[in-house]
């Protein structure tokens, strides 16, 4: 029999170090802060820590712009602090993933500094340099080599005066794209990865790794009114991406032992591609982060023009991924990360039903088949933050979007509404440890203020409350660790057309786990037969008399009531 990989029973916890815990009072979280709070993760029961970037960086995108891959940024500490953290993680029986950001570097990385210095230096071809569009003056509007929009607003090419050419940056202008066509680039990346594995890390979360292979003919795309369009058809899941990842696997991971894990972050990945990326026989990556479900509330104007979530669309999407990655491949499961607004504010109710809705969304996610990811603070039900105005925001994506949208005539208040709902800073306010100043995050002034709700919403309060969101997450982790049906069971969606109830069955042998979740603020009957079912976990602490599983026609669920049943 095939032994199933260890990570099928694992839960991963993402630490965003800038906002987790500040040990030295400079207002920015750091590695010693993470080490000091590892017992929070132990209490929760997670298996793996994914650490967002701590490498040397000018900080244009909070560390996703790296200027030295083999050092720690002084804001976060030193390599010695890193080794201490790694040892402390291992001592607690957990493993640690680094964030691997190799689609691009910082423009201050020595590779790019050299590359931009002349057209004939040995590293010129390590990045994407192109002359201005023919017939145009370099630097003039519309002279960019392609009309692709950057993820962070504006063109994805910037003009460089020194050598009179443009360089490609799918993200900010301070994040030039590496040219993976050049074998030396790949070798340099692989050598760096081996260096970290030799140091003891247990794998990588690979930033936008499905964008590394571009269509080298760099075609234009259909453009919007501002002359820019979505170029992703020419760089997402590109022609050589599988070849590159297979080479990475051979040159970096093959032959290494231990509890290794690789997860590729892949905007725009389809399930068909995901099967190929994660089929163990192909030796590329263990799992991928897909984006379908976090795009369902993006409106006609994009992510900052949100529309209400249609639950049927979510079920169609998740159901399809569960089915198609059922026998080959493996799913990652997430609502939150450092790029997404908080799930309880986004899809739940962060007012009257804060607790129940946070738990309901947690149960739905964690009982799917796949590896769940918990983003720091999600296990407390942390919410979006009240940003007064653009001056209170820090994220480069939000700032660029605001500047460009307002310059193009948008109403600033309308732009702010989109940013308040969807901006990435919502996920980046300090971790709420206790009710004290700055939520116990820092003794100094935090780089982004703590959410004012930390007076009642904090870890300390939740440890002591058996009915807390924290203990609910802890129980979900425990279910995965103790029940084979949660890890390996088949998945069947129920009631696909119901607009408010999310229900499904996991089955393994004679065991069935049935999840019945009312994801709305009004009572709702779920037409699910629960004869003989035993309640394992609910979003409500106390069952309402007569509301049990045995009701004819299925249970009548209270607002945001999500129940997990076992049928044997
Ligand atoms: O949030 C997004 C912008 O709308 C996403 O498209 C995001 O940029 C995309 O998921 C890629 O994210 C990763 O790479 C970015 C970095 O800013 C994100 O923090 C990182 O998770 C560039 O490195």
CB of 267 sitting under 6 A from ligand 1 = yes
Q: Which residues of the chain have pLDDT under 70?
A: 1-3, 545-547
Residue 303 corresponds to which tokens in the numbers above? 């992510």
In this predicted structure, what is the pLDDT of residue 548?
Answer: 73
The Cα angle at residue 467 between residues 462 and 470, in degrees rounded to 5: 45
Q: Between β-strands 556-557 and 524-525, what pairing exists: parallel, antiparallel or unpaired?
A: antiparallel
What tens digit of pLDDT does each residue of 127-158 get? 999 999 999 999 999 999 999 999 999 999 99
Alpha-carbon span 99 to 188, nearest angstrom: 16
| Cβ-contact 398, 419 below 8 angstroms | yes
Nearest CA owner, ligand 1 atom 20: 207
> How far is ligand 1, taken at its centre, from the CA of residue 479, in Å?
31
CB of 204 sitting under 6 A from ligand 1 = no
Alpha-carbon span 469 to 365, nearest angstrom: 14
The DSSP symbol for 154 reads: S
In this predicted structure, what is the pLDDT of residue 553?
Answer: 86
Pocket test for ligand 1, best of 151, 236, 301 (most atoms within 8 A of CB): 151
Domains (ranges, CATH) in the chain? 110-168 (3.90.400.10), 489-567 (2.60.40.1180)
Indicate which residue of 47, 207, 397, 563 is catalytic.
207
What tens digit of pLDDT does each residue of 423-470 get? 999 999 999 999 999 999 999 999 999 999 999 999 999 999 999 999
| Cβ-contact 211, 178 below 8 angstroms | no
The DSSP symbol for 521 reads: S
> How far is ligand 1, taken at its centre, from the CA of residue 171, in Å?
8
Q: What are the start-end ranges of the E strands in 30-73?
A: 48-51, 55-56, 68-72
In this predicted structure, what is the pLDDT of residue 267?
Answer: 98
| Cβ-contact 286, 279 below 8 angstroms | no
What tens digit of pLDDT does each residue of 546-562 get? 667 778 889 999 999 99
What tens digit of pLDDT does each residue of 26-60 get? 999 999 999 999 999 999 999 999 999 999 999 99
> How far is ligand 1, taken at its centre, from the CA of residue 151, in Å?
8
Q: Is the pTM of this model over 0.95?
A: yes
Residue 484 corresponds to which tokens in the numbers above? 């084979």
Cα first-last separation, the chain: 25
Alpha-carbon span 8 to 330, nearest angstrom: 9
| Cβ-contact 98, 51 below 8 angstroms | yes
């Amino acid at each position: 029999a095939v032994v199933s990989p260890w990570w099928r029973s694992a839960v991963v916890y993402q630490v965003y170090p800038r906002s987790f815990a500040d040990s030295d009072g400079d207002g920015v979280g750091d590695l010693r802060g993470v080490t000091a709070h590892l017992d929070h993760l132990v209490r929760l029961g997670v298996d793996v820590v994914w650490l967002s970037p701590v490498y040397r960086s000018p900080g244009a995108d909070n560390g996703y712009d790296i200027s030295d891959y083999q050092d720690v940024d002084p804001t976060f500490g030193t390599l010695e602090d890193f080794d201490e953290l790694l040892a402390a993680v291992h001592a607690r029986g957990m493993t640690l993933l680094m964030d691997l950001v190799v689609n691009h570097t910082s423009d201050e990385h020595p590779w790019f500094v050299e590359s931009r210095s002349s057209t004939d230096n040995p590293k010129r071809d390590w990045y994407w340099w192109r002359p201005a569009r023919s017939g145009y003056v370099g630097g003039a509007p519309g002279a960019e080599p392609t009309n692709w929009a950057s993820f962070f607003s504006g063109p994805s090419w910037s003009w460089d005066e020194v050598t009179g050419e443009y360089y490609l940056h799918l993200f900010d202008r301070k994040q030039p794209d590496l040219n993976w066509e050049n074998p030396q680039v790949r070798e340099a990346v692989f050598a760096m990865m081996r260096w970290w594995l030799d140091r003891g890390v247990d794998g990588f979360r690979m930033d936008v790794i499905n964008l590394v292979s571009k269509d080298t003919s760099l075609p234009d795309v259909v453009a919007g009114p501002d002359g820019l369009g979505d170029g992703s058809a020419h760089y997402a899941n590109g022609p050589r991406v599988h070849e590159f990842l297979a080479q990475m696997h051979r040159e970096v991971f093959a032959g290494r032992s231990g509890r290794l894990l690789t997860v590729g972050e892949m905007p725009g990945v389809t399930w068909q591609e995901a099967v190929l990326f994660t089929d163990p026989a192909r030796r590329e990556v263990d799992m991928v982060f897909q984006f379908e479900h976090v795009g369902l509330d993006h409106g006609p104007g994009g992510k900052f023009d949100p529309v209400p979530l249609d639950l049927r669309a979510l079920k169609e999407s998740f159901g399809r991924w569960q089915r198609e990655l059922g026998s080959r491949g493996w799913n990652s499961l997430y609502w939150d990360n450092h790029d997404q607004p908080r799930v309880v504010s986004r899809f739940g109710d962060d007012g009257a039903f804060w607790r129940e809705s946070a738990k309901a969304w947690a149960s739905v996610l964690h009982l799917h088949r796949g590896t769940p990811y918990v983003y720091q603070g999600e296990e407390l039900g942390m919410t979006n933050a009240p940003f007064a105005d653009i001056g209170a925001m820090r994220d480069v994506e939000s700032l660029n979007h605001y500047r460009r949208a307002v310059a193009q005539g948008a109403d600033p208040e309308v732009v702010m509404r989109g940013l308040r709902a969807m901006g990435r800073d919502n996920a980046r306010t300090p971790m709420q440890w206790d009710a004290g100043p700055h939520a116990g995050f820092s003794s100094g002034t935090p780089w982004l203020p703590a959410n004012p709700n930390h007076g009642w919403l904090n870890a300390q309060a939740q440890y002591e409350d058996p009915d807390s969101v924290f203990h609910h997450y802890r129980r979900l982790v425990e279910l995965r660790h103790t029940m084979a049906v949660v890890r390996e069971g088949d998945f069947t969606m129920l009631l696909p057309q119901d607009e408010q109830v999310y229900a499904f069955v996991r089955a393994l042998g004679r065991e069935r786990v049935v999840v019945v979740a009312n994801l709305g603020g009004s009572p709702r009957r779920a037409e699910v037969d629960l004869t003989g079912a035993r309640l394992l976990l609910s979003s409500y602490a106390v069952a309402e008399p007569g509301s049990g599983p045995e009701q004819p026609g299925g249970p009548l669920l209270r607002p945001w009531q999500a129940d997990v049943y076992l049928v044997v």
